[in-house]
Structure 1
Amino acid sequence: MVPRTTTSEAPMTAPLHTLDATTLARALAARELKAETLAQALTERALALGPRLHAWAHLDAAAARRRARALDQAAAGGSASGALHGLPLGIKDNIDTAGLPTAYGSAVYAGHVPQADAAVVALARAAGAWVMGKTACTEFANMTPCATRNPHVPAHTPGGSSSGSAAAVAAGLVPLALGTQTAGSVIRPAAFCGTVGYKPSPRRLPRAGAKPNSDTLDEIGVLARSVADAALLSGVLGAWGAGPAPRLGGDAATPRLGVTLTSRAQALSAPMVAMVEDAAARLSAAGATMQLAVWPEGFDSLFDAQRTVQVFETAMALAAERQYRRRQLSAGLRALLDEGAALPAAAYAAALSTAQATGLRIEELFGQAEVLLTPAAPGAAPRSLRQTGDPAFNRPWQLLGCPCLTLPGGLDAQGLPLGLQLVARPGQDARLFEVAAWVEERLEARTITHAACGD
């Protein structure tokens, strides 16, 4: 419960947009900060940077401040509660949000306003959060880009499909945001924008109310400024299942880590390879047990199998849009849906069998390691606004059902972020967070709000 107190709001010494969610949550709970004050600061920043970043699909600044003010009034009356009390969220445009336009990144649903929240939105609101706005996403969370730009170098892609969520967190427009991932749509934009991104084990976070693409692969994910922030939101949404919450900080055991560049190392940029190798060396020096995780024979089939499952199931999920709203779809999405509709059922069944067979052999890859260090993307964000980058380094983990977490790995020579991806066995989400917090502290991996954003 938020304690009843008559303490007046104390001035915050740092700009509010630079503070992480855990810091803001403590200040809000202690009544040192009002949700409306936070809303005022963040909406002013969002409006100022909007013409450059295009991170929001819908933002009504006045309505956002009203939502925050209502929480302050509840706190003053002693009825406010919840781990997220007063914290603003960005909600990806393909996740239903009651009373707010939710177009799924497509002209097909322009003006659509859901009558009910998606499950994750309802859970977040029940824990005291308020929705700041809807973040921009690619068309139906596929590959056709939206207008969002990378906060670090705006001529470069922010990644996709959770483009606006990653850019908004990285630019200090909102401390927390929800995304979705079918291939690499949380991990890759988090890497490109220099934030923390978490994609859970299958079905850890409820998917009801998110526009589907692939029943096998779709997951809700979290974008945040730190591992602790991501854990705060993820715990409210059910990430730990029936198990205990992760122990972040000094109580966590020193990890056993593996390193793999997969079998696609030739596709990695030199700075990305150097970043992963440097991280491994520094973590080994800090006391982690390190091993080389050798990519097992036969695991190469995961790359194509994931894409087959995704394309086949997306054609089914968007069958009505393909049939009745074809002219309103981009040429790229039409081609992808046609490809999926033409795939033989036998090819789809074979891809699912590949996932099952390789999943049974996952110990060959992990060995004694608890968590693997691997690239989150081939390199930094490409210089393009017509594509969102290659999800190749996310596909195998998505099909295997591994929980993944991206940490900022520093900047390359152009000032673009590089992302370090941490991967655990399916179901080991809590331990993934413990290891990620340990790694974050030793690598000093922090979200950087770049000068291109106006700072």
Structure 2
Amino acid sequence: MLSALDLARRLESGTLTVDALYDEIDGAIAAREPEVRAFVQHDVANARAAAGRARGPLAGLPLGVKDNIDTGDRITTYGSPIHAETRPAVDAAVVALARRAGAAVLGKTVTTEFAFFQPGPTRNPRNLDHTPGGSSSGSAAGVSAGFFPLALGTQTGGSVVRPAAFCGIAGFKPTFGRLPIAGVKYFSWSLDTLGVFAAGVADVAFGAGILAGRDWRIDGEVATPPRIGLVEPQPFAEADPDMEAAQERVRQSAERAGASVTRIALPPIFREAFAAHQTIQDYEATRALAAETDLAPDRISPVLRETLEAGAAISGEAYDAAQETAASARRAFADLMTTVDVLMTPSAPGAAPLGLASTGSSVFNRVWTLMGAPALNVPGLVNDAGLPLGMQAVGAIGADRKTLLAGRWLEERLRDM
């Protein structure tokens, strides 16, 4: 994998040239892209030329952009045949900000259909027989395969944290609204959140902080043992035996290293909030994709069509009630976070499932997306088969830097285990 921080330092110091970096990337793509299939399309030559002219904190760094995020210089398909020839007039705001900071867009990365469930062709670089997760499949797989050091994705349920976990990298979903969503194809306007993928926690903090215009950089800072809330049991999610054992090992390691670990039971409102997530998502998706449903219903997958039909049956009153439940849960969440720095949960029920028919379950992620809280996959663990297992750190709303610092501290413990 490529470290964004390491590459940025080497490019700035002159110990690495743009040509040498893009030669390495070109070789990695040639060697692995035919089997990984992270890209919808890519252009190394164009990115190399842009990198040579770039200035700014991300100067020269290649960027993968999920294909539900508009790019004005290339087609954006949103993972759907309906938009196979769609060419946006301008970049999404976050892409424009990335270019302004010096990043070079290497290509568009595979997303599931409209960032929902229908998988694309991408395979997990850690084991090609397993899913890379979704919906940000190509962004996570591309970082893991060494195609680019930074990538953009989106999360409506678990589409940043889960694929990062499956591919063994860091994935950060900041506090809702910290990264501008303008120019992203909506699935659910109350939930859709931009996120960033990178090799490690310090790398993702570096990239995400620049794009958000905030001081989230944590490299060079010594992280102190955090106050960790270990969420168990979770009323809506259950981990497999490998993940349960891994979480217990992490707990023991964290306590030995000086962290305060408190077992936390979520308030009852969280069970209602978990159900409210689907109500809000489906109601909004039906409306966000109204044009596609009316113009080309036969080009929408059966799994998405079923969800849109369910969303159409949700009344405005039920939607409003779900939003009220979410607001109540956010108040309870804020109270809960006064006693800890981060909550720790699995990023997924286990390792990446075998096969490509499903992108895995987001049961450990959805409610935190609904809370609007920063959520981070902390990489470093693997199961007996060598597949990554991710631990999720969830912070208080607005406490993005504290969440990243705690995640960096956890990452160091995981890599030593």
TM-score normalised per structure 2: 0.96
Q: Note if contact 2:70-2:92 (Cα within 8 Å) is conserved in structure 1.
A: yes
- The letter of the residue matching 2:339 is Q
Give the alignment of 1:198-209 within 5 angstroms: 198-209=172-183
1:284 counterpart = 2:255: yes
Q: Paired residue for 1:34?
A: 17
- 1:400 aligned to 2:371? yes
Q: 1:344 maps to which residue?
A: 315
Q: Is 1:107 the counterpart of 2:81 in the alignment?
A: yes
The CA distance in 2 between the partners of 1:388 and 1:290, in whole Å, is 31
1:52 corresponds to:
35
Give 1:219-258 correspondences, 5 Å limit.
219-238=193-212, 240=214, 244-258=215-229
Q: Deviations over 1:174-204 (max 9, x none)?
A: 1110000001000110011111000011100
**Offset of 1:409 from its aligned partner?**
4.0
- Size of the aligned set, in residue pairs, is 417
Q: Which deviates more, 365-374 or 225-234?
A: 365-374
* Percent of paired sites with the same residue: 45
Corresponding residue of 1:453? none
Which residue identity lines up with residue 400 of structure 1 in the other structure? M
Distance 1:307 1:440, change over 3 A: same
Shift of 1:380: 0.8
Name the aligned partner's letter for residue 312 of structure 1.
Y
Give the drift of 1:248. 4.3
- Contact 1:302 1:395 (C-alpha < 8 Å) held by counterparts: no
Q: Which residue of 1 aligns with 2:349?
A: 378
User: Which residue is equivalent to 1:191?
Assistant: 165
Alignment equivalent of 1:154, drawn from 128, 147, 152: 128
Shift, 1:97, TM fit? 1.1
Question: Is the Cα contact below 8 Å between 1:177 and 1:224 reproduced in 2?
Answer: yes
Matches within 5 A, 1:257-336: 257-264=228-235, 267-336=238-307
CA distance in 2, matches of 1:368, 1:246: 24
Which residue is equivalent to 1:215? Answer: 189
Could you say if the C-alpha distance between residues 201 and 239 of structure 1 is closer, same or farther in structure 2, counting changes exceeding 3 Å?
farther
Residue 291 of structure 1: SS of its match in structure 2? Answer: strand
The 3 A distance-change label for structure 1 pair 153 and 252 is closer
Deviations 1:321-342 (A, max 9, x none): 0111111111111111111111
Structure with greater Cα Rg: 1
Q: Give the SS at the match of 2:269.
A: coil
Q: Are 1:357 and 2:331 an aligned pair?
A: no
Residue type of the alignment partner of 2:7 = L
Unpaired runs of at least 5, structure 1: 1-17, 75-79, 447-455
* Cα distance change, pair 37–99 in 1 and its aligned pair in 2 (3 A): same
SS of the residue 2:204 aligns to: helix
Match of 2:4 among 21, 27, 31: 21
Provide closer, same or farther for how the CA distance between residues 107 and 251 of structure 1 changes in structure 2, counting only shifts above 3 A.
same
Q: Does the CA contact (< 8 Å) of 2:133 and 2:360 recur in 1?
A: yes
Secondary structure of 2:212's aligned partner:
coil
Conserved? CA contact 1:246–1:434, under 8 Å: no
Q: How far, CA to CA, are the matches of 2:380 and 2:326 in structure 1?
A: 29
How far does the alpha carbon of each residue in 1:48-101 deviate from its partner, in whole angstroms, 9 at most, with x for none?
212211100111233333333xx2xx4xxxxx5311011000000010112112
Give 1:405-424 correspondences, 5 Å limit. Answer: 405-424=376-395
Classify the secondary structure of the residue corresponding to 1:361.
helix
Question: Partners of 1:170 and 1:239 in 2: how far apart?
Answer: 26
Look up the equivalent residue of 2:261 and give its one-letter code: M
The 5 A counterparts of 1:128-143 are: 128-143=102-117
Q: Aligned partner of 1:236: which letter?
A: I
Q: Measure, in 2, the Cα distance between the counterparts of 1:445 and 1:423.
A: 22
Give the superposition deviation at 1:262. Answer: 4.5
List alignment gaps of at least 5 residues for structure 2.
Answer: none
- Which of 431, 437, 449 in structure 1 is aligned with 2:408? 437
1:24, CA displacement in angstroms? 0.5
Q: CA separation in 2, counterparts of 1:230 and 1:346?
A: 40
Aligned pair in 2 of structure 1 residues 133, 359: CA closer, same or farther (>3 Å)?
same
Is the 1:293–1:366 Cα contact (8 Å) retained in structure 2? no
SS in 2 for 1:438: helix
Measured against aligned partners, the alpha-carbon deviations of 1:329-375 in whole angstroms (never above 9, x if no partner) come to: 11111111111111111221111111111111125544521101101
Q: Please say if residues 283 and 443 of structure 1, whose CA atoms lie closer than 8 Å, have aligned partners that are also in contact.
A: no
The alignment partner of 1:300 has SS state of helix
| Residue among 320, 345, 360 paired with 1:389 | 360
Q: Which residue of 2 aligns with 1:172?
A: 146
SS at match of 1:192: helix
Question: Which whole-Å CA distance do the structure 2 matches of 1:81 and 1:59 have between them?
Answer: 22
Structure 2: how far apart are the matches of 1:288 and 1:201? Answer: 24
- The answer to whether the Cα contact below 8 Å between 1:403 and 1:429 also exists between their aligned partners in 2 is yes
- In the alignment, the residues of structure 1 paired with residue 407 and residue 191 of structure 2 have an alpha-carbon distance, to the nearest angstrom, of 23
Read off the aligned partner of 1:307 and give its amino acid letter.
Q
Give CA deviations for 1:287-333 in whole Å, capped at 9, x if unaligned.
Answer: 11111111222321122111111111011100100111111111111
The 3 A distance-change label for structure 1 pair 21 and 168 is same
Equivalent AA in structure 1 for residue 300 of structure 2: L
Are 2:158 and 2:362, in contact at CA under 8 Å, matched by a contact in 1?
A: yes
- 8 Å contact kept, 2:112–2:120: yes
Give RMSD over aligned pairs: 1.7
Q: Which amino acid letter does the alignment assign opposite residue 31 of structure 2? A: A
For residue 444 of structure 1, give the secondary structure of its aligned residue in structure 2.
Answer: helix
**Contact 2:342-2:394 at 8 Å conserved across structures:** yes
Moved more, 231-240 or 146-155: 231-240
Alignment of 1:55-70 (within 5 A): 55-68=38-51
Distance in 2, Cα, partners of 1:194 & 1:298: 32
